[in-house]
Amino acid sequence: MAPTDHPDPLELIDRAQAVLDGAAASLRRLGGVDAHETFAYDLAHGASAIATARAIRAYAARGALETHLADAFLGLALNDLATRVLGREDLWGVTPDWFSHFRDFVAHERHPARLAALADTPGPRHLDPEFEMAAATFHRFALEQVRPHAEHVHRANADIPESIIDGLRDLGGFGLSVPEEFGGFATGAESDYLAMVVATEELSWGSLGIGGSLITRPEIMARALLSGGTPAQRAYWLPRLAEGTSLAAIAVTEPDFGSDVAGITTSATRVPGGWRLRGTKTWCTFAARADVLVLLARTDPDRSRAHRGLSLFLVDKERGDGHGFVLHQDPRPDDPTAGEGRLEGRPIDTIGYRGMHSYELSIDNWFVPDDHLVGGEEGLGRGFYYQMAGFENGRLQTAARAVGVMQAAYEAALDYARSRVVFGRALIDYELTRVTLGTMAAIIQGSRQFALEVARLMARGTGTLEASMAKAYVCRAAEWVTREALQIHGGMGYAEEYPVSRYFVDARVLSIFEGADETLSVKVIARRLVEGA
């Protein structure tokens, strides 16, 4: 335990928050995030780590191990903040001795003996019984149905087996965000978000590529419909999402406009009975297998209207071949001059996150009926907002996916360290190995508790900033944890004989999708912090 003369951890967190608030005010005086992007990025990540440290304090009250994990995480977060401020005190608006309040605590919590003592467990989650049962159910599914296929799909770049989709459908995994009145399991209570986080973590523990991401797309589509869909659209689509009879893919990103969603150029032109779509989308994951695309298009040709000229469409499609597809629409009798519609999907090869496959979509003359415009006429120009309602939840889900991948990597590293003998001793007996594992344990539990806390906030209608913070911090943490897990395996980690190499390349995508880390940190998190300074 920490010495009795150490400040209370919450006091240290408040002091760290004061440093961050002062930095946000300093950044505002200096011209804002666009004038100082590096400062803004460091502010966003420093604030995200401290927010995670605050979220785990309730967990600390559960017992001695829990307190140790929470204090260790705070020590890591404060040390990280120090590295961002060191040498730039004037920029951050602090005096040279600003770290004196934190030094003893950090030195104590980062002592090798303290971290090594945590090597063997990241601690229990302390979920309520109903969520413990949900976790156990999805964990068993991940163990028995997902993991047996994970390595083959990754190495062969194969498709997700239909047995996994069928099994997840039987579990009700596609209806976690769909209200009960539409055949789902959502009750409008806190439990909706918590169940989603718990299920996503366990499925990602099984495999990010063929487990953890399967329920993300129906979640995004469901949230978008609940945000802006007409009663008829909700009545038609939500039961199909809940049943898993309509599987969705999200078509937002474009080749020249990655995270800059407001700049997209794919057009929707009004024609008799509906709209004609033309343009190119990229990084549309699961597009071949999906039955419907949630597609953002420009309905107002005035580019100066930016995001206010975008609308959201539900695009029916046939299933295509996972290794590339071309779909056709016959000319419509009421619009014979338009010709045939064409939708082509070209798969994008990736180093990891295989199974769902991502595609570049070429869309030409594809017809969408009027009743597939989300929100109907009232939805014109509102597509960006409907889509963001889904993406906010997607960021929280991505944090949960990162926790699942980290947990899998940690367990693999711990098992290997216990069995691998080097210079006459098991790896687990070396201090450096134990410190690494102990650091992993603190990071994993801190990340997990933050994701659970954000779920509670979002259930109360808040937490959008915290969801972005969780996504930013936890996904970068997953890169470090999986890297160290691979390193503990040594040469065998770099081989494909052990799944830890898959965890490493899978984790790398987490800071890119659902909002690239740099854009999310500078344009969303730092900007919000500056506005509130």
CB 401 within 8 A of CB 200: yes
CB 284 within 8 A of CB 251: yes
Integer Cα distance of 454 and 472 in angstroms: 13
Tell me if residue 520 falls in helix, strand or coil. Answer: helix
**Closest C-alpha to 384, from 228, 185, 203:** 228
Integer Cα distance of 377 and 379 in angstroms: 5
**Closest C-alpha to 226, from 397, 374, 395, 376:** 374
Q: Which of the following is catalytic: 392, 466, 514, 531?
A: 514
Name the DSSP class of 254. B
Residue 342 pairs in a beta bridge with 328, 364
Integer Cα distance of 342 and 327 in angstroms: 6
Containing 343, the helix (H) or strand (E) segment is strand 341-348
Provide the 10 A C-beta neighbour count for residue 503. 31
* Helix residue spans in 177-309 (DSSP H): 190-206, 216-228, 231-243
Integer Cα distance of 230 and 217 in angstroms: 20
**Closest C-alpha to 392, from 445, 507, 476, 469:** 469
86: left (phi over 0), alpha (psi -120 to 50) or beta: beta
Identify whether 466 is a catalytic site residue.
Answer: no
SS3 content of the chain, % helix, strand, coil (to 5): 60, 15, 25
CB 179 within 8 A of CB 192: no
Reading the block at residue 381, the tokens are 């120009």
CB 78 within 8 A of CB 110: no
Between the two ends of the chain, the Cα-to-Cα distance in Å is: 36
Provide the 10 A C-beta neighbour count for residue 100. 9
Name the DSSP class of 375. T
**Closest C-alpha to 164, from 21, 279, 286:** 286
CB 214 within 8 A of CB 355: no
Reading the block at residue 104, the tokens are 């003893």
Q: Up-side HSE of residue 77: CA atoms within 13 Å toward CB?
A: 33
Q: What residues act catalytically?
A: 514
